[in-house]
Amino acid sequence: MKRLNDIPKKDPFKAPDGYFETLPDAVRDKIQAEKQKEVKPGFFTVLKPYLYFAGFFIGLAFIIKIGLNVFTGDYHNQQITDNQTETIESEYFEYDMISEETIYAALSDEISEEENEISEETMIAYLTQDDYSSILYYE
Amino acid sequence: MNEHLDDQEILKRFRTENPDYAFNLLVKKYQERLYASIRKVLINHDDTNDVLQETLIKIYQNLDTFRSDSQLFSWMYRIAINEALGFIRKQKRKYVFATLSYEDSLIQSLRADSFFDGDELQKKLQEAILKLPQKQRLVFNMKYYDNLKYDEISEMLKTSKGALKASYHHAVKKIEKYLKED
């Protein structure tokens, strides 16, 4: 009948001889190695701040450019150009919105007027001519 | 003489004078206690050595953030146990498709351990402890060997004191049952 209290409480695990004499130095070496890693940054890490600077100046230049356009009047000219563009576009749309029926009706009116003009004159000339060949020809 | 500096004095030196020297004093002061705590969780010396070194490096890197209102060793102990548990998690992933479980491999390691300093009864006790579920094993080691209070264990494992007491009680019963076998 074994109870836990019957067993002497002791730590049965031991370390190899001399282990605790060498451990502090081993840890110190590892810490130094970690510090070396921290000191030697990678290529991108070195480049990163320069990229940030470049991005910042490009952004700044862009903002200044827009600001200059607004305050020197270029922006107003740009607005006029835009208005002109709008007018052309609206005219184009108006033309585009003419229905096909309207176009056909306009064309057919022109044709019928021409036909009427021609038909009256031609008809008189036709009725008064002696040569019936054309009549025969048309038959 | 410096070996007997108290924690506050070591911390003061770490922060103001020579951090490497002060840390060396800290390692010498607590290395054996930390080793013993990790070794009882991992059993194998080589694994314990790896985890202890990682623990000490983390302690060095974070010692500046340590707040003096808690016990320095409790803080170091907590880092050590967290590192050991992290190591076990990684090991268990390696054993997912193995025929042997990680716990069985620890028992084999224990039986073959040339650094084990105990008789057959001590070895059987360690086997019984290894048969416990992981959390029960951890609670048992913390209470029985490391003499931690339930309050400290509760804070470390984020478990209520009642649950810890029940866990320890069950662990003792299981161990005694295992010892009665044969």
- Contact between A34 and B28 using a beta-carbon 8 Å cutoff: no
* pLDDT tens figures, A60-106: 998 988 888 877 766 555 555 556 666 655 555 555 566 777 767 76
* pLDDT tens figures, B82-126: 999 999 999 988 888 888 888 888 888 888 887 888 888 899 999
The answer to whether B41 and A16 are in contact (CB under 8 A) is no
Whole-number Cα distances in Å, B123 to A11, B48, B120, B127:
11, 18, 5, 6
**Per-residue pLDDT, A28:** 93
Looking at per-residue pLDDT, the higher value among A42 and B109 belongs to B109
- Contact between A14 and B117 using a beta-carbon 8 Å cutoff: yes
Q: Is A9 left (phi over 0), alpha (psi -120 to 50) or beta?
A: beta
- Contact between A11 and B145 using a beta-carbon 8 Å cutoff: yes
- Contact between B122 and A30 using a beta-carbon 8 Å cutoff: no
The answer to whether A37 and B151 are in contact (CB under 8 A) is no
Nearest to B53 among A10, A14, A26 (CB): A26
> What is the interface pTM, i.e. ipTM, of the complex?
0.85
Distance of CA B176 to the CA centre of its chain: 22
A42 at the B interface (CB within 8 A)?
no
Q: How many CB atoms lie within 10 A of CB B63?
A: 19
Q: Record the tokens describing residue B149, joined without a space.
A: 């209070």
Question: A13 by DSSP, 3-state: which?
Answer: strand
Q: Record the tokens describing residue B13, joined without a space.
A: 């030196």
The answer to whether B179 and A5 are in contact (CB under 8 A) is no
**Per-residue pLDDT, A131:** 58
* pLDDT tens figures, B139-180: 999 999 999 999 999 988 889 999 999 999 999 999 999 998
CA-nearest residue to A25 within chain B is: B24
B126 at the A interface (CB within 8 A)?
yes
